[in-house]
């Protein structure tokens, strides 16, 4: 049978960013994939060279709205690395709280979207309803629901008042019970298992070779989490428990995220309990000296790193950002191979992509030169 | 000290190709090698310390030269290796590492399109992020580039 090119993307209103894949398919089986990314490349690395560090921080946060705390945290840590500034202890704990709240809402968002893509609309709505509680907590802690601008060089911008700390504990306790219920659903529901178990396999050795990151590699048996292997902020004191699965399929990647959500809730609880008192910020210079800084944090989707060249000025000479979805693209291409067309949406959503692609699909028959477009809903119905 | 162990191991393998080596801070090593020796360095790190994770490949235009940094993480000794090599601005060519670390396939394409570094032996050295109508030979992260008329 001759291979047919199946073009998926670049428009996708359901997930967050445009993206295109050209799949070579034989019958219903994917044999090869060619990714095309860059539709929303905004030149932020270049733009950061022309901004001072203070305003650049706000821009860096806008690389990704969903994991904005990871971006600002990583950028300020890289700057603190050059300057040799150590933030106060309380600030480190507050950074953990904001970072983990960010992770909780990001994972809940993905788990909801996964429910929707698998045809489980109730789960999507329930999870997104509960996600709102976390968004409200983030707003009360940082002043904003999404882009929080919480981290600054030398500490954090706002302190946590005792009333909010109490409310955080209350809301998170309620949320934990709900997430545990969702864990049962993801673990046992026959519909979810039928669509995810054994789908989109990635072996441990391929995950290592392809430098997969985050829950994507941890679901393939790689015990690598920045919070564990290179602790930053206050993680060293918080008794972090690494979540990992060895199945390497879509199911394991979703389960890893459910478990990480529970672990993130517990991390916030432990951080609130052990949080020392004291200042939340030290004064930092506006000028960053000549030198190189590097920082890596565990963003919700995997390790995120910033490499900053300072030139003794208010502006950096070069800022390199490596985002986790970018790192996972070679791995997701591997997962598609050998799978069915109908499994493309589930496989793609399992890496929690920060781009989009699967809603509009064009089928191209290379021999006849025909082209037809189908929607993802139709693609799902074709099963 | 695990950091010194990494430096010593590389000194033994690379000899004079290792231009500069230092322990920057706890858990981080900075190694500067001659162009072309980076492959031997990565091979040595893989054979001595087991699994290696590539954080990123960073290209920077330092005005008199291009600097490539391979940010590598060694899982076992828990050391971050900043492996650096310098390339001349007018002839920026270097051997690929895609056969040693398959995960570097997109990172090399990005450095190629943004800074014009050609990776010899890369299986598919095409542009990655830039639009299709972007002119040839305009590398946006080079310092001397004028983007007026391009954008």
3-state secondary structure string, chain A? CCCEEEEECCCCCCCCCCCEEEEEEECCEEEEEEEECCCCCCCHHHHHHCCCHHHHHHHHHCCCCCCHHHHHHHHHHHHHHHHCCCCCHHHHHHHHHHHHHHHHHHHHHHHHHHHHHCCCHHHHHHHHHHHHHHHHHHHHHHCCCCCCCCEECCEECCCCCHHHHHHHHHHHHHHHHHHHHHHHHHHHCHHHHHHHCCCCCCCHHHHHHCCCCHHHHHCCCCCCCHHHHCCCCCHHHCCCCCCCCCCCCHHHHHHHHHHHHHHHHHHHHHHHHHCCCCCCECCCCCCECCEEEEEEEEECCEEEEEEEEECCECCEEEEEEECHHHHHHHHHHHHHCCCEHHHHHHHHHHCCCCCCCCCEEEEEECCCCEEEEEEHHHHHHCC
Residue B133 to chain A, least CA–CA distance (Å): 13
How far apart are alpha carbons A127 and A182 in whole angstroms? 8
- The reported pTM is 0.91
Q: Which of the residue ranges A42-46, A71-75, A191-195, A294-298 would you say has the lowest mean pLDDT?
A: A42-46
Residues near A69 by Cβ (< 8 Å), separated by ≥ 6?
A98, A99, A101, A102, A148, A150, A151
Q: Which of the residue ranges A35-44, A106-115, A170-179 would you say has the lowest mean pLDDT?
A: A35-44
Predicted pLDDT at A11: 64
Question: Which DSSP category does B129 fall into?
Answer: S
A211 and B53 within 8 Å at the Cβ level: the answer is yes
Predicted pLDDT at A366: 36
How far apart are alpha carbons A217 and A208 in whole angstroms? 8
Predicted pLDDT at A16: 57
How far apart are alpha carbons A15 and A62 in whole angstroms? 17
Residue B111 within a domain? no
How far apart are alpha carbons B1 and A194 in whole angstroms? 50
Q: What integer is the mean pLDDT of A81-107?
A: 95
Interface residue A209 vs chain B (CB under 8 A) = yes
Nearest to A297 by CA among A68, A55, A10, A43: A68
What is the domain extent for residue B61?
A: 2-91
For residue A361, name the pLDDT band (cuts at 50, 70, 90): very low
Residue B79 within a domain? yes
Predicted pLDDT at A18: 75
Sort out which chain B residues have CB atoms less than 8 A from A45's CB and list them: 114, 141
Residue B45 within a domain? yes
Q: What integer is the mean pLDDT of B82-86?
A: 96
A211 and B80 within 8 Å at the Cβ level: the answer is no
Q: What's the pLDDT tens digit per position in A324-350?
A: 988 998 999 999 999 998 888 888 888
pLDDT at A375 over 60: no
Residue B124 within a domain? no
How far apart are alpha carbons A64 and B8 in whole angstroms? 40
Interface residue A211 vs chain B (CB under 8 A) = yes
Sort out which chain B residues have CB atoms less than 8 A from A305's CB and list them: 55-56, 71
Sort out which chain A residues have CB atoms less than 8 A from B101's CB and list them: 209, 211
Residue B21 within a domain? yes
Question: Which DSSP category does B134 fall into?
Answer: P
For residue A2, name the pLDDT band (cuts at 50, 70, 90): confident
Residue B77 within a domain? yes
- What's the number of domains chain B is made of? 1
Residue B103 within a domain? no
Q: What integer is the mean pLDDT of A254-279?
A: 96
Identify whether the C-beta of residue A15 lies closer than 8 Å to the C-beta of residue A357: yes
Residue B6 within a domain? yes
Q: What's the pLDDT tens digit per position in A44-68?
A: 898 999 999 999 999 998 888 888 9
Query: Hey, what domains does chain A have and what are their CATH numbers?
Result: 4-40+336-381 (no CATH), 44-197+274-322 (1.10.645.10)
Q: What integer is the mean pLDDT of A177-193?
A: 95
How far apart are alpha carbons A102 and A135 in whole angstroms? 9
B53 and A294 within 8 Å at the Cβ level: the answer is no
Helix A162-188 vs helix A89-117: crossing angle, to nearest 10: 30
What residues are paired with A155 via a beta bridge? A152, A281
Which CATH number characterizes residue B42's domain? 3.30.460.80
How far apart are alpha carbons B139 and A262 in whole angstroms? 45
Which of A209, A224, A320 lies closest to B102 in CB terms? A209
Nearest CA in chain B to A331: B103
Residue B129 to chain A, least CA–CA distance (Å): 4
């Amino acid at each position: 049978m001759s291979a047919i090119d199946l073009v998926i993307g670049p428009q996708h209103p359901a997930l967050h960013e445009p993206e295109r894949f050209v799949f070579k398919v034989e019958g219903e089986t994917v044999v090869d994939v060619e990714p095309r990314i860059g539709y929303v490349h905004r030149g932020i690395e270049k733009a950061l060279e022309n901004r001072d560090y203070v305003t650049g921080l706000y821009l860096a946060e806008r690389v990704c709205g969903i994991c904005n705390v990871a971006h600002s945290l990583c950028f300020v840590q890289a700057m603190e690395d050059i300057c040799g500034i150590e933030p106060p202890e309380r600030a480190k704990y507050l950074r953990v709280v904001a970072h983990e709240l960010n992770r909780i809402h990001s994972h809940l968002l993905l788990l909801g979207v996964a429910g929707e893509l698998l045809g489980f609309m109730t789960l999507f709505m329930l999870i997104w309803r509960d996600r709102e509680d976390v968004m409200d907590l983030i707003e009360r802690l940082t002043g904003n629901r999404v882009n929080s601008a919480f981290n600054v060089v030398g500490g954090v911008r706002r302190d946590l008042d005792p009333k909010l700390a109490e409310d955080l504990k209350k809301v998170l306790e309620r949320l934990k019970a709900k997430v545990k219920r969702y864990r049962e659903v993801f673990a046992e529901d026959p519909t979810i298992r039928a669509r995810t178990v054994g789908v989109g396999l990635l072996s441990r050795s391929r995950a290592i070779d392809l430098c997969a990151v985050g829950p994507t590699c941890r679901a393939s048996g790689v015990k690598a989490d920045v919070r564990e292997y290179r602790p930053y902020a206050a993680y060293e004191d918080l008794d972090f428990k690494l979540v990992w699965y060895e199945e390497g399929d879509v199911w394991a990647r979703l389960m890893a995220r459910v478990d990480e959500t529970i672990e993130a809730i517990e991390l916030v609880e432990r951080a609130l309990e052990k949080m020392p008192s004291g200042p939340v910020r030290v004064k930092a210079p506006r000028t960053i000296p000549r030198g190189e800084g590097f920082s890596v944090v565990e963003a919700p989707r995997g390790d995120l790193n910033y490499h900053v060249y300072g030139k003794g000025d208010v502006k950096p000479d070069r800022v390199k950002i490596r985002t986790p979805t970018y790192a996972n693209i070679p791995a997701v291409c591997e997962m598609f191979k050998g799978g069915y067309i109908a499994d493309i949406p589930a496989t793609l959503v399992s890496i929690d992509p920060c781009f989009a692609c699967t809603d509009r699909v064009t089928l191209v028959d290379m021999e006849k030169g025909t082209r037809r477009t189908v929607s993802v809903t139709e693609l799902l119905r074709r099963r | 000290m695990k950091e010194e162990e990494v430096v010593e191991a590389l000194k033994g393998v690379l000899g004079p190709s290792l231009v500069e080596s230092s322990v920057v801070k706890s858990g981080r090593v900075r190694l500067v090698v001659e162009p072309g020796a980076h492959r031997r360095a990565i091979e040595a790190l893989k054979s001595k310390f087991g699994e290696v994770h590539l954080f990123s490949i960073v290209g920077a235009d330092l005005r008199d030269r291009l600097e490539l940094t391979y940010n590598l993480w060694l899982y076992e000794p828990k050391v971050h290796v900043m492996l650096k090599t310098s390339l001349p601005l007018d002839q920026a060519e270097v051997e690929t590492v895609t056969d040693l670390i398959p995960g570097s396939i997109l990172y090399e394409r990005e450095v190629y399109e943004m800074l014009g570094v050609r990776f010899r032996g890369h299986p598919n050295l095409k542009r990655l992020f830039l639009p299709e109508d972007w002119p040839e030979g305009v590398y946006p992260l080079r310092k001397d580039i004028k983007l007026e008329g391009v954008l």
